[in-house]
Structure 1
Amino acid sequence: MKKIYSVISVSVLAIIIGCSTEKTPKTKKMNTNQEKKTVVYQVFTRLFGNTNTTNKPWGTIEENGVGKFNDFTDKALSEIKDLGVTHIWYTGVPHHDVIRDYTEFGISNDDPDIVKGRAGSPYAVKDYYNVNPDLAVNVENRLEEFEALIVRSHKNGLKVIIDIVPNHVARNYQSLSNPEGTKDFGADDDKTVEYDVDNNFYYVPNEAFQVPDFLNGYAPLGGEKNPLSDNKFDENPAKWTGNGSRAAKPHFNDWYETVKVNYGVSPEGKKDFEELPEGFDNEDYKKHFEFWQDKKVPSSWVKFRDIALYWTAKGVDGFRYDMAEMVPVEFWSFMNSAIKMKNADAFLLAEVYNPNEYRNYIRKGKMDYLYDKVQLYDTIKNIMQGHGLTDHIAPIQEDLKDIEHNMLHFLENHDEQRIASPEFAGDPLKGKPAMVVSATISTAPTMVYFGQELGEPGAENAGFGSPSRTSIFDYIGVPTLQRWVNGKEYDGGQSTDQEKSLRDFYKRLLNFTIKSDALMGEYQDIHHFNRQHTEWYNDRVSSFVRYSDDEKLIIVSNFNANDTYGFELGLPQDIITKWNLKDGEYQVEDQLYKEYSSTLKVENGEARVRVDLKPLESFILKVKY
């Protein structure tokens, strides 16, 4: 899912109001199973430890280099942990198609005509029971090297997430590592029919697959000669393509490198499996697990469940599911309940973009978290770019209030443009206040994409695709990250002053979020109150409060890159009552940078605090008694 936007700026003030000496009325605790916020660090595994700076378009692994599992040393992992991270998502771990000769290890070569880029898409998985050979120092021991990384991550206090891509697999899927008793996808399919409930794929009977016509001057490997690059790929009969194309010759813009997995849904949309009973969205994962025990389910369901349990048994703590809404919700009930029976704390994150389906995938599908892209991310991005108003933030939280904990927040990931790219904001500092809003507005997890904390602009022309997003298809270096990696010292020794300052900001903010009680407590908008009652407060500013029994926060954001705003920010009467604020003055002191203080004045039922926000400035202030 790739869309294009850009950015303006934000300044943020978070005011922490501590407890008064008089007992504060009890506030309702959120219905969560954790005490503090979660922070996910998404890292594109093959790029993290690559110190090669050649960056030749379409460069080989020898020319441009590649990172390894072993580059995630104890030092590297401890630095990631100290950034304020609780979970690390290693993107691109399962063995996907790559254009490199590994035949001496029994791995078949992959055809450039059905591979995007030279290093291949991590979402065209070739073998779910092994890992990308590029990532290993010793290819024969590649699985053992990843298992060691799981152990190392845990030792450094990080839980491990990897991808599962349930909707599609690589066209040439072939596992070399199947556990005894398991078979490859499609091994027992009846290929004479378009559909059968127990087929793993959909077919185009009597027609052979044809490579799509490449557009806009594209050529596999940039036009480099390769024995397999002949505009042909042997697949007869043709299979449906990953995005649902039923053509034997898919379009170039289709996901032609993948084939769609059949979950027992006929081409007409009929579900050939039992659906969940009415009201089952209110049942827990144990009831869902019990429900499926005596039910016959399609073969593909069992295969993916077994894959997830295989990795769970190896110590993987959770999964990020690609394009989960393209797979029926009943499968997720079956899959996720089985995972939770093995690990009740498993972290299950799904890519779902249809707000009308959010609650189904959370409640029926037993997902822990979904991307909050089409509402909060898109709205904040538009505000940053000057296309939207801060007035639009509060209605999102109102709309999602029953599932706010389940909507993971982010400003970057591998599908989205880098904040620092000209196509988004052109300046990484413009992400600072937006990051504060994103990270503090709810109890949901926060996700940061590697290099975001350093202002990486994604400017390299790697080969397949275009700049603004760090390439996930080719061998490439990530310059800002390489400066921080500093020859694998992982100490920022080559980072610029701006990069160091930005990383320091992320470190302060993220560590605050994972320690704050209020951020797992209540939320209330005060933006619209101040729009009506506060002079100089406008649609470039946003504010809301977060609070628990022991901590009270006011978060104020200035979405203007150029102007300073000063005003007497007000609290509505119900907040004054809930917080048991008595008449008087409360000194507030910054907790983020320790450089700002102000006074909260409460008198005759009104509460106001002077706020002076410079462009892109952020504060976390705490009331002193």
Structure 2
Amino acid sequence: MTIKPLVIALGLITGSVVLSACNSTNDNKTPITDTQNLAAQHSDAKPVVYQVFTRLFGNTNSNNIPWGTKEQNGVGKFADFTPKALSEIKAMGVSHVWYTGVLHHALVGDYTEYGIVLDDPDVVKGRAGSPYAVKDYYNVNPDLAVNPANRLAEFEALIARTHEAGMKVVIDIVPNHVARNYQSLSAPQGISDFGANDDTSVTYARDNNFYYVTGEDFSVPSSQDYQVLGGEPHPLADGQFTESPAKWTGNGARAAQPHIHDWYETVKVNYGVKPDGSYDFATLPAQYAQLDYRAHYAFWQDKKLPDSWYKFRDITYYWLDKGVDGFRYDMAEMVPVEFWSFLNASIKMKNPDAFLLAEVYNPTLYRAYIEQGKMDYLYDKVGLYDSLKALMQGKGTAQQVLDVHASVKDIAPHMLHFLENHDEQRIASPEFAGDANKGKPAMVVSHLLSQSPTLLYFAQSVGEDGSEMAGFGKPSRTSIFDYIGVPAHQAWMNQGKFDGALLSEEQKALRAYYQKLMNMASFSAIAQGELVSTPVTTRSGQSATNVIGFGRQSESQRLVVISNFDADAPQTVSVTLPAGWQGNAIDRLEQHGQVALNNNQLTVTLAPLASAVFELEN
């Protein structure tokens, strides 16, 4: 979810967690108890997650009218993920497909003939709506179905096709907030809607699902800079939305009329955190940080817990039973870590191999959410992504990248690496790097630095620049709020042939580069190996500021990775290898051929933005 100013984030963790910096960069060993599960997932290759914005993937329409309807601008369907499309995704080394925007969220469109209540555009961002304003947790977005009445079955068929293609399925769970107009048409018998049994006469009660602004009605935020649907008329776009009493807004804003920059289209879910921040549930004893999910599961069995905890457990069980293999948790740090202990332990008891990924941005919380919250993986955004972006933009150094990675040495295998996702700017956008090729050395480092999973965003490998003005928000990010075509992706898709025939030669070369690189996830030195320090110096003997080098080794393989971030000039560098690293080095990535080592020194000249992945002959 796009980060905006937070008014209050209730109940993050119990106690305090200190981020410890380390000098060593050996990321192979970690004290986390559940690493056995990670090792099982990494047995043949480390995970590669392909994030795809489901609504946009199969759309062939290129009108791209700002604020356009789905009839004007088109919309992709589950059916567009054909066996051919999935095989091409798999060929990129992908192990997991994160289908973003699957759950039924609020949108501006008329599906009343299917019994779906109209959503009010005054509390919908964009025309297609935010995937993080979920309206019904027990069904999927009707936009994505060829036959909306059959939408759940169409998604179940996609799950089956994805599995047949040899990949696993990940979907979003948004625990911190739901759409203001939440209404499930598909909940199993005996499951009530969020808020259906709340006592709305009080601000807070433990088993209320929401917080309330008692005695006040909700008011739509006002702004001179923003017009609903870009000012286009709509019968419900009247600046009014009935909600009495008003609920707290998703980011914790407590006013009956939130600010236009609040998450006003959503309401905050109550997990038993009182308005003063104190907890209305049992806290997790410190020793549980060292215990596995089975112990966590047992701890919660005799506890009386807030209703929202059980609601989200039931939701995840529902999707696991449908064949979903894992979840990406939106804004997980805004939900108490004890809840994650309960939920993730419950999930692992049902599916020990479930893939659990959390959006957490505060480094001081990382270890708590992994050790106590039993997360498999967290975003490495504030550290690795931010430092790589700075280096790509000429604002950072190679050492800064290595230093931030060293600071998470003990949890490195748990930190998901990425250069693009739905929240971040496209590499090729002028606001980021302005050239997709500048992503090549950064992706080499991001992908090969650790055993951790790598996320590849759809159209990243063909240089999409996110320049389309879709409606809500600004270009540089591919819109998640409106109906839009994604030009570089459409060229690869080629009207559903998925053969890349319409790509330029430069785009074809970029995709081939990504394909070779991403499949290095199966190299043993990458999947199971440890990081080895290999200092990089220039001809003058100085530390290289824009060249990153490191080694990775397993029992059967030794690799030396070197990337030149200079976009204008070649760099000649010497890499000091550990004692015993002898023999010839063969580049497995580009065209550097074979390089001989001399007294544990590997000297190579890298062209601008070039990288090498040298394998040492045993």
Q: TM-score, normalised by structure 2?
A: 0.93
Alpha-carbon separation, structure 2, partners of 1:534 and 1:152: 56
Contact map agreement 1:569 1:610 (CA 8 A) in 2: yes
1:194 aligns to 2:191 (yes or no): no
1:490-529 deviation digits (Å, cap 9, x = unpaired): 00011111111111011000111233334421112323xx
> Which amino acid is 1:487 matched to?
Q
> 603, 606, 614: which is aligned to 2:607?
614
Residues 276-306 of structure 1: CA deviation (Å, up to 9, x unaligned):
1121111100111111111100000000010
Task: Quickly say closer, same or farther: Cα 1:487–1:334, change in 2 above 3 A.
Answer: same
- Looking at structure 2, the residues matched to 532 and 599 of structure 1 have their Cα atoms a distance apart, in angstroms, of 18
* TM-aligned CA deviation for residue 542 of structure 1: 1.5
Write the mapping of 1:504-523 to structure 2, written as runs, cut at 5 A: 504-523=512-531
Q: What does residue range 338-417 of structure 1 map to in structure 2 within 5 Å?
A: 338-417=346-425
Q: For 2:573 and 2:313, locate their aligned partners in 1 and report how far apart those are by CA, in whole Å.
A: 56
- Residue 291 (structure 2) pairs with residue 291 (structure 1): no
1:56-86: CA deviations, max 9, x gaps?
0000000000000000000000000001111
After superposition, the Cα gap between the structure-2 partners of 1:565 and 1:256, relative to the gap in structure 1 and judged at 3 Å, is: same
2 CA distance for matches of 1:418 and 1:3?
16
| Mapped contact 2:561–2:614 kept (Cα < 8 A) | no
Structure 2 contact 380–417 (Cα < 8 Å) conserved? yes
User: What aligned pairs does 1:69-84 form with structure 2 within 5 A after superposition?
Assistant: 69-84=78-93
Deviating more after overlay: 305-314 vs 517-526: 517-526
Cα deviation, 1:310-363, whole Å, max 9, x if unaligned, reads 000110000000000000000001100111011100000000011111000001
2:481 is aligned to 473
Question: Which residue of the partner structure matches residue 456 of structure 1?
Answer: 464
* SS in structure 1 of the partner of residue 410 of structure 2: coil
1:22 is matched with which residue? none
1:53 corresponds to: 62
Q: How far 1:114 moved relative to its partner?
A: 0.2
Which has the higher mean CA deviation after the structures are superposed, 171-180 or 543-552?
Answer: 543-552
Deviations 1:203-245 (A, max 9, x none): 00010000000241x2111111111111000000000000000
Identify which of 541, 544, 552 aligns with 1:535.
541
The percent identity for this pair of structures is 59
In structure 2, runs of 5+ residues without a counterpart are 5-26
Instruction: Please say if residues 29 and 548 of structure 1, whose CA atoms lie closer than 8 Å, have aligned partners that are also in contact.
Output: no
RMSD value, Cα: 1.6
Distance (Å, rounded) in 2 between the aligned partners of 1:518 and 1:329: 31
Consecutive unaligned residues in structure 1, runs of 5 or more: 5-26
Tell whether the 8 Å contact from 1:518 to 1:552 is kept in structure 2 after alignment.
Answer: no
**Kindly tell me: are residues 61 and 28 of structure 1, through their superposed partners in 2, closer, same or farther at Cα, counting changes over 3 Å?**
closer
Q: Does 1:274 align with 2:274?
A: no
Superposition deviation, residue 533 in structure 1? 9.5
| Displaced runs of 4 or more, over 3 A | 1-4, 27-32, 515-519, 530-534
In 1, the alpha carbon distance for the partners of 2:526 and 2:55 equals 37
Q: Does the CA-based 8 Å contact 1:215-1:252 persist in structure 2?
A: no
The answer on whether the counterparts of 1:536 and 1:566 sit within 8 Å (CA) in structure 2 is: no
State the partner residue of 1:306.
Answer: 314
Please, which of 85, 91, 115 is the counterpart of residue 100 of structure 2? 91
CA separation of 1:436/1:178 partners in 2, compared to 1, >3 Å: closer, same or farther?
Answer: same
Higher mean displacement: 194-203 or 562-571: 562-571
Quick one: which amino acid aligns to residue 595 of structure 2? S
> SS state of the match for residue 327, structure 2?
strand
Residue 544 of structure 1, CA deviation: 1.3
Code of the residue aligned with 1:131 in structure 2: it is: V
Q: Counterpart amino acid of 1:616?
A: L
| Alignment partners' CA distance in 1, 2:47 and 2:539 | 35
Output one character per residue of 1:106-147: Cα deviation in whole Å (capped at 9) or x when no partner: 000000000000000000000000000000000110000000
Aligned equivalents of 1:568, 1:249: Cα separation in 2: 61
Deviation at 1:394, TM superposition (A): 2.0
The DSSP-based 3-state class of the residue aligned with 2:286 is coil
Q: Secondary structure at the match of 1:468?
A: coil
Matching of residue 546 in structure 1 with residue 546 in structure 2: no
The aligned counterpart of 2:152 is 143
Q: Greater relative contact order (Cα 8 A, min sep 6): structure 1 or 2?
A: 1
Whichever residue aligns with residue 210 of structure 1, its letter is S
What residue is the counterpart of 1:564 in the other structure?
570
Matched, 1:596 2:593: yes
Query: What's the offset of the Cα at 1:368?
Result: 0.3
State whether residues 525 and 559 of structure 2, in contact with CA within 8 Å, keep that contact through their aligned partners in structure 1. no
